[in-house]
Amino acid sequence: RRGIVAGRFKATAGFHRRHQPPLAQKAWVLPYRSTSIAATQRAAHSAAMPVIAFIADPASPNGQALQELLPEVGESTTCLVGNDLSTFKAYPQLAEVEVIVPVVFAGGNPEVVSTIWPSCPKVRWVHSMAAGVDTLVPKLMALDRGPEIPLTNAKGAFSRSLAEYGIAAMLHFNKQIPRLQDNRKRKQWDRFIMGELYGQTVGFVGFGDIGQATARLCKAFGMRVVAFRNKRGLPGDEIADQMFYAEDQPDGTGKREVFRQSDYVICSLPGGAGTLRACGQAEFAAMKPTGIFISMGRGSCVDEDALVEALQTGKIGGAALDVFDKEPLPAQSPLWECQNLLLSPHNADLTSSYMRLTWDLFLEKLKAFMSPGFSGFDQVVDKDKGY
């Protein structure tokens, strides 16, 4: 696992989400032996091993880290790594590709999916190494066979770290951390009444893996949990003390009720047309004046102009944002000037285990894909919804 890939790249300790400067691309065909999915391969006997196209910048730090992991895909599996059409065209195996894996945090350009698609008539699966697929889905929907090809993602891989961020954001405001820091700077002994999370209500807009992981931590603090999601009958409803469903109240009253009841509102909605500006003026108007809004799903889900107005006029107590409509956040954005805002640069889940977590999830899905009698994945992205 820690060896040098193709004799060229040394191990790298770090990795970055950002695109790296364009560099000359190298193509790699990597037949490897591994014990990660060896049992599955032995069971398959003579079944052909898939050809996998990883869309990534192989010269970037994350691209190098990715290539160090490639031996784990298994014996005789062929891996193609590139970030443009010309690189992939140089592979004689391109027409045999069955799996396409965009790796955006390794500088992978999602547009390459569209450009190599006509040359990959055998594609049977697309997997995003990131959880968000809002930029990928429209591209697939526009391609021949794209709507029918199963799309999976890294859903659930980063829920633990995002749950911790949600707790940290609540404690930041509940314990008045900025006030404590300011008192130290001013050498002021200010024995104010300290808050506690126990007994307070946290509301979730979106109650998938991220929301549920966060809700479990909230329960450990003795908080009351209310949540809003699309429909009944999905796993995790039992975690909440009270649930609201969009299918019951399509006019949005259930969602606004979550905002009204909550001391803290956590939005973990995925991006897409159905969630665009889901948290806006009406929702912020329903909040308590002491209420805190936390966004850690997709920035497109929040009406930032409405949030700025709510913060600057004191309609809500504060907000914590890890995701934004435009990233990096432009210097001219009024969000930078909001004093009661905790702002992080979309790195709440960028932990030292980020690469390993998403890679291990991919290996699990690859094992299923290669197993005898494979009939489909347990969970796939609903392309009509975008998540």
Q: Please give the positions annotated as active site.
A: 298, 327, 346
Cα separation of 90 and 103, whole Å? 20
End-to-end CA distance of the chain: 32
Cα separation of 41 and 215, whole Å? 39
Task: Check residue 235 and report its DSSP letter.
Answer: T
What is the rounded radius of gyration, in angstroms, for the C-alpha atoms of the chain?
23
> Who's near 41: CB < 8 A, 6+ residues apart?
49, 74, 75, 76, 370
Cα separation of 327 and 295, whole Å? 14
Question: Where in the chain does DSSP place strands (E)?
Answer: 28-29, 51-55, 78-82, 97-102, 125-127, 151-152, 201-205, 224-229, 242-245, 264-267, 292-295, 318-321, 341-343
C-alpha closest to that of 111 among 82, 91, 148, 90: 82
Cα separation of 259 and 162, whole Å? 20
Q: Is 13 helix (H, G, I), strand (E, B) or coil?
A: coil
Contact in structure between 121 and 145 (CB atoms under 8 Å): no
Contact in structure between 296 and 322 (CB atoms under 8 Å): yes
Give the neighbor-by-neighbor strand order of the sheet with 78-82. Answer: 28-29, 78-82, 51-55, 97-102, 125-127, 151-152
